[in-house]
Structure 1
Amino acid sequence: MGAAAQQPAFIIFSDLSKIGPFLIELRKRGLTVLAFSQRQGSAMVQKGIELLGTPGHPFADLTEVSLRDATDISGMADQASRWARQYDVRGVLVNAEVYVDAGQVVSDMLGLPGPGWRASTVCRNKLLQRRYLRQWSPVSVLLTAPAHGIADRAEAEELAAQYTGPFPVAVKPLDRESSIGVRVVEDGRALADAVAGLGPGSRLLVEERVRGREFNVDTLVAEGKPIVTLLTQKGTNEDSTEFFVELVHTTPPTNLDERETALITEAQLGVVDRLGFENGYAHAEYRITDDGRVVLMEIAARAPGDGCLHLYHLSTGRPIEPVLIDIALGRPTEYPAVFRRRGRQVYFEHTPGVLRDVRVEGLEGAAPQWLADTTGIWPELSAVEGNAPATVHEVFVLKPRGFALERLTESSNRAVTAIFDVPVDGDIDAEEARVRRAVTIETEPSAG
């Protein structure tokens, strides 16, 4: 075996746009970084692929990158096995939903810490979540289109009639990621319309529409033991549309008391225990109703997307990525949930059309960063002192100039976001209003 076999290495499954803070930490530890990422995807992903191998770019710290479709588990297992013969692979970390299955295979194959088979499998399947975690879940039914497809309206209505619960309901396609295709339907006729659009053999999860405040609930787990549980308040466009696109994240929440926090945390720890979660990040979403019922919306065996990890860093003063790497390496670690600041991320609504410009006026030192036109990667942010005044950290543009922006029906349609914070007892809503007044998104109608 050559000298390269002695090099300590780390395998990460990630969208290239979200790999930056992990690369920084892995470089500090002297680990060779081996990455799996997608062949194609969003404008940010495409820009990142273009920039692979560029000197001076953060991607220069990637020793090897294997671009693989998420379904190519055999190919990724084979590639990881070859890497394991060439390098001393010490950890595996999954930072993208589509790679949870492959990441579990690779970590288990190499004898390295991972979430575990039950946690990984259930977290990747909305129906299994409802059946394994029935105690915390809304009432649901699975509708499956015939192999020949939906023949006519009568067949769609007959299939939709299998749901006998109250309306409105949420419908969730089981063949899509995140919130793609998830929406509310108000009555049986609208449900039949949704069923009529199913392709041959497609499956649709229909479940009671739970109303209440919604939260990200994130638990870091090492060797089967929860290290810390963190909560982030969520805001979506569900009140003005039939969709569930996440537009606001706030850490720590402003709308929970101690009793409610305890109820949600208790539910999350019960879910983590039921899944036999071994190592990594249990990222769940819950609602709490006006009568105090805590309901699980979904759970994933990977870190959250958007700027949620940035918010934990800004609000506690400590980045969370080093802890995730410690867990993947099997090292003792901790993360104190002591909040010095309150951080918020907002995604701006826009008028559909061709993106021409984004202007920021009146925010000291803040200018739009056109990530999809420049670096293709979310940069690391720097936390400020706890008593510092309200701070706008960044305004990011996630689509290139000339991109045709669509209505906000799913998370991939979002184009512009801002991240800011205030002292933990400061007025985060007032700062949000100031930021929203400062940012203008200019579009023009698309041809035709």
Structure 2
Amino acid sequence: MGAAPKPPAFIVFSDLSKIGPSLIELRKRGLAVLAISQKQGSAMVQKGIELLGTPDGPFSGITDVSLRDHQDLSGMADQASVWAQEYDVRGVLVNAEVYVDAGQIVADMLDLPNPGWRASTVCRNKLLQRRYLRQWSPVSVLVTAPDNGFETSGQPAELAKRYDGPFPVAIKPLDRESSIGVRVVGSVQALTEAIATLQPGNRLLVEERVQGREYNVDTLVSKGRPLVTLLTQKGTNEDSTEYFVELIHTTPPNNLDEREQALIVEAQLGVVERLGFENGYTHAEYRIDDDGRVSLMEIAARAPGDGCLHLYHLATGKPIEPVLIDIALGLETQYPAVFSRRGRQVYFEHTPGILRDVQVEGLDGITPRWLADTTGLWPELKAVEADAPPTVHELFSIKPRGFELERLTESSNRAVTAIFDVPIDGDIDAEEARVRRGVTVVSEPYAP
């Protein structure tokens, strides 16, 4: 008699807080879910780790979990090899930026669909994006602090001279993830001061500050063929601060005409082709100015964060996770980009201090869900009919009560968010105003 067939399985690299919709879909398909996640992280991540192994808990559908630091590439490759001896691993999906490298290695090692080496490598490196994708990128230079630190006060000024383009400029630390540390400086003197704060060996990308409206631009690719490109309008706190914290997402955008959208999609498809993207989700951010100049801000080889996938589901009536899993399994698939509603997610600004409460008034049936105090998991949302009235779907706190709220200088400082939608011809701005009037984030000053 031959050996018994191995049970079919699927490996997911993800923060536990974001695994919910994928977990549900994979279990529907009869696949054992093998998860690799972080050992530590945000309040949501910590809550998820605390609940692992809880009978009937939010993560009880996971067959096995390996908690790994994202730099432990050898350990993750070995763990995948061990799983592959016990299971018939049929696909790999990456939901977290820090695991793009590991996901590429494991999928390639197991001969499963993956984005491709060039795509994964370039998407993980801000400098490589600028050099590989010059046609779509702003002017930029790389500044590297000496390995032994600055020995004279004139060294930072000399390094600042490497950039001879217009001001203001955006500065992006290459030793940090996502948008952490990204900010605007307005003069040579301010740039010099920023460079002077670099630690020995730190690298800083200094680039032209591109003006214009900003969008998430997401392309699903299967077997080298783009299936669909989707746009989400972005709003940040850049107008009132020197930072770029994302506070608003709108799907589909309501501030683009057909010509502008076509220019952005054309740029995105050119970028996807240049990267040789093979399979998966390519998530990019672009700006377009009033003259129609399209500039690539950054690109990633994984799905977007926040509630962006929720917004696609609410706006089209179709969840996107099944399509991502189809692609990872090498199956023929499609995603109909027909928008019947317009969805928006907002993060509420807050006063720094101790988070005590989230109060709601005038939003019938809505109570805040304290995810970091309860499940540590972003739940699924249910789409409504196209002609349903404006609908507030959820109000979440992703920080626990008693958390020390800080200024909104990076995404990890955000605390409270709402997701809502309106009919496609409805007034999403009026609904946002109503939601904002109804929600108050209560914090008290820090003790002296």
TM above 0.5, yes or no, is yes
Structure 2 vs 1, CA of residues 51 and 4 (structure 1 numbering), >3 Å: closer, same or farther? farther
Q: CA deviation at 1:427?
A: 0.2
Which residue of structure 2 aligns with residue 208 of structure 1? 208
Q: CA deviation at 1:55?
A: 1.5
Which residue of structure 1 aligns with residue 368 of structure 2? 368
Q: Which amino acid aligns with 1:191?
A: L
CA distance in 1, matches of 2:2, 2:35: 21
Which residue of structure 1 aligns with residue 413 of structure 2? 413
Structure 2 vs 1, CA of residues 156 and 315 (structure 1 numbering), >3 Å: closer, same or farther? same
Q: Which amino acid aligns with 2:307?
A: G
Structure 2 vs 1, CA of residues 13 and 2 (structure 1 numbering), >3 Å: closer, same or farther? farther
- Report if the CA contact (8 A) 1:25-1:321 is conserved: yes
- Report if the CA contact (8 A) 1:23-1:58 is conserved: no
Structure 2 vs 1, CA of residues 317 and 196 (structure 1 numbering), >3 Å: closer, same or farther? same
CA distance in 1, matches of 2:446, 2:67: 33
- Report if the CA contact (8 A) 2:51-2:58 is conserved: no
3-state SS, counterpart of residue 59 of structure 1:
coil
CA distance in 2, matches of 1:371, 1:276: 38
Which residue of structure 1 aligns with residue 108 of structure 2? 108
Q: Which amino acid aligns with 1:63?
A: T
Which residue of structure 2 aligns with residue 338 of structure 1? 338
CA distance in 1, matches of 2:384, 2:2: 46
3-state SS, counterpart of residue 412 of structure 1:
helix
Structure 1 gaps of 5+ residues are none
Which residue of structure 2 aligns with residue 282 of structure 1? 282
Structure 2 vs 1, CA of residues 397 and 146 (structure 1 numbering), >3 Å: closer, same or farther? same
CA distance in 2, matches of 1:187, 1:4: 68
Q: CA deviation at 1:259?
A: 0.4
CA distance in 1, matches of 2:259, 2:72: 45
CA distance in 1, matches of 2:153, 2:405: 33
TM-superposition CA deviations, 1:102-146 (whole Å, max 9, x none): 000000000000000000000000000000000000000000011
CA distance in 1, matches of 2:287, 2:419: 24
3-state SS, counterpart of residue 433 of structure 2:
helix
CA distance in 2, matches of 1:4, 1:408: 55
3-state SS, counterpart of residue 177 of structure 2:
coil
- Report if the CA contact (8 A) 1:90-1:329 is conserved: yes
Q: Which amino acid aligns with 1:115?
A: P
TM-superposition CA deviations, 1:65-112 (whole Å, max 9, x none): 000000000000000000001100000000000000000000000000
Which residue of structure 1 aligns with residue 199 of structure 2? 199
Q: CA deviation at 1:150?
A: 2.1
Q: Which amino acid aligns with 1:425?
A: D
Moved more, 79-88 or 158-167: 158-167
Calculate the aligned-residue CA RMSD, in Å: 1.1
CA distance in 1, matches of 2:46, 2:187: 40
TM-superposition CA deviations, 1:257-296 (whole Å, max 9, x none): 0000000000000000000000000000000011110000
Q: CA deviation at 1:5?
A: 5.5
CA distance in 2, matches of 1:264, 1:50: 43
3-state SS, counterpart of residue 60 of structure 1:
coil
CA distance in 2, matches of 1:445, 1:151: 41
CA distance in 2, matches of 1:151, 1:400: 44
3-state SS, counterpart of residue 142 of structure 1:
strand
CA distance in 2, matches of 1:176, 1:386: 41
Which residue of structure 1 aligns with residue 258 of structure 2? 258
CA distance in 1, matches of 2:355, 2:151: 40
TM-superposition CA deviations, 1:225-260 (whole Å, max 9, x none): 000000000000000000000000000000000000
CA distance in 2, matches of 1:143, 1:5: 55
CA distance in 2, matches of 1:440, 1:307: 20
CA distance in 2, matches of 1:348, 1:376: 19
TM-superposition CA deviations, 1:190-215 (whole Å, max 9, x none): 00111011111110000000000000
Q: CA deviation at 1:57?
A: 1.8
Give the alignment of 1:107-256 within 5 angstroms.
Answer: 107-256=107-256
Which residue of structure 2 aligns with residue 53 of structure 1? 53
Structure 2 gaps of 5+ residues are none
Which residue of structure 2 aligns with residue 21 of structure 1? 21
Q: CA deviation at 1:159?
A: 1.2
CA distance in 1, matches of 2:6, 2:79: 18
The alignment's TM-score, normalised by the length of structure 1, stands at 0.99
- Report if the CA contact (8 A) 2:217-2:286 is conserved: yes
TM-superposition CA deviations, 1:321-370 (whole Å, max 9, x none): 00000000000000011001000000000000000110111111111000
CA distance in 1, matches of 2:176, 2:421: 33
CA distance in 2, matches of 1:357, 1:95: 30
Q: Which amino acid aligns with 1:443?
A: S
CA distance in 2, matches of 1:411, 1:276: 30
Moved more, 51-60 or 114-123: 51-60
The alignment's TM-score, normalised by the length of structure 2, stands at 0.99
Give the alignment of 1:35-74 within 5 angstroms.
Answer: 35-74=35-74
- Report if the CA contact (8 A) 1:5-1:85 is conserved: no
3-state SS, counterpart of residue 74 of structure 1:
helix
- Report if the CA contact (8 A) 2:9-2:88 is conserved: yes
TM-superposition CA deviations, 1:408-442 (whole Å, max 9, x none): 00000000000000000000000000000000011
Q: Which amino acid aligns with 1:107?
A: A
- Report if the CA contact (8 A) 1:11-1:89 is conserved: yes
CA distance in 2, matches of 1:4, 1:305: 40
Q: Which amino acid aligns with 1:416?
A: V
- % same residue: 79
- Report if the CA contact (8 A) 2:353-2:406 is conserved: yes
CA distance in 2, matches of 1:233, 1:377: 25
CA distance in 2, matches of 1:116, 1:3: 33
CA distance in 2, matches of 1:230, 1:364: 32
CA distance in 2, matches of 1:4, 1:178: 44
TM-superposition CA deviations, 1:4-30 (whole Å, max 9, x none): 861000000000000000000001000
CA distance in 2, matches of 1:250, 1:384: 17
- Report if the CA contact (8 A) 1:405-1:413 is conserved: yes
